[in-house]
């Protein structure tokens, strides 16, 4: 069981907006540590999507946005496209474990 | 082009050892912390270990502590993972990843560059 909890799956039709939640605790997200998000397309390595809760690396479309509040964070994807179909992972630091931790991952299906 | 290339994976019997390598290029390797992240078949990502830019800070996941050793050779732009006492549950694709913050000695930051991974299978 992952330290950060994500829904196993979400889905949406093209053009719609979906959100993926990432729930932590007082030793990670709730302690103020940043949350980062990764996109993993089938058969490929993870790619950084959002860093520092809400910042997009160069080249990531502004359809992707991140937010954080309390012990949780969210990734929002608007204007859903077929190529967004992938697994998404959140990541943070956990002070109890003294290490980086990932969520269990969420599979996004574009209907 | 910024690139990370892992090597050294393969099939190994339980209890044996394996050493993974990661060759970095396209960035100033000795300015950045580096990490190993693994992904078991059909499963999610798991942080395995991290090492600061100057090897002064090292961290491990509880699942590998005491069995795995991370190291780096800045002169060779290379990262390593020595894996001893391997178990079936260590079977995974092992990724090398670059920390996003310069001169970081902690594991707070995002991993901005990833390699393609090297597969480790532990089986008799």
Residue B69: C-alpha distances to residues A108, B17, B110 (Å): 35, 11, 22
**pLDDT tens across A37-78, in order?**
999 999 999 999 999 999 999 999 999 999 999 999 999 999
**pLDDT tens across B29-84, in order?**
999 999 999 999 999 999 999 999 999 999 999 999 999 999 999 999 999 999 99
Buried/exposed B71-89: b ≥16 CB within 10 Å, e otherwise: ebeeeebbbbbebeebeee
Nearest chain A alpha carbon to B4: A45
Q: What average pLDDT does chain A have? A: 97
Instruction: Tell me, rounded to whole angstroms, the distance of Cα B69 from its chain centroid.
Output: 9
Which among A45, A48, A100 has CB closest to B107? Answer: A100
Which among A45, A51, A102 has CB closest to B114? Answer: A45
Of A104, A97, A110, A109, nearest to A8 by C-alpha is: A104
pLDDT above 90 as % of chain B: 94
């Amino acid at each position: 069981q992952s330290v950060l909890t994500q829904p196993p799956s979400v889905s949406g039709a093209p053009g719609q907006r979906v959100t993926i939640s990432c729930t932590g605790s007082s030793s990670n997200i709730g302690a103020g540590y940043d949350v980062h998000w990764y996109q993993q397309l089938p058969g490929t390595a993870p790619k950084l999507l959002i860093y520092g809760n809400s910042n997009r690396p160069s080249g990531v479309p502004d359809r992707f946005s991140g937010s954080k509040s309390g012990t949780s964070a969210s990734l929002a994807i608007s204007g859903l496209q077929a190529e967004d179909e992938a697994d998404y992972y959140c990541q943070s630091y956990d002070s109890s474990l003294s290490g980086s931790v990932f969520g269990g991952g969420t599979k996004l299906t574009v209907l | 082009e910024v690139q990370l290339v892992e090597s050294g994976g393969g099939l190994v019997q339980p209890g044996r050892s394996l050493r993974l390598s990661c060759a970095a290029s396209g960035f100033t390797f000795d300015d950045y912390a580096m990490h190993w992240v693994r992904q078991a078949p059909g499963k999610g990502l798991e942080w395995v270990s991290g090492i600061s830019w100057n090897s002064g800070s090292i961290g491990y996941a509880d699942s590998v502590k005491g069995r795995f050793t991370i190291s780096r050779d800045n002169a060779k732009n290379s990262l390593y993972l020595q894996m001893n006492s391997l178990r079936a549950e260590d079977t995974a694709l092992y990724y090398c990843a670059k920390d996003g913050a310069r001169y970081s000695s902690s594991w707070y930051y995002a991993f901005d560059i990833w390699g393609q991974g090297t597969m480790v299978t532990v089986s008799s």
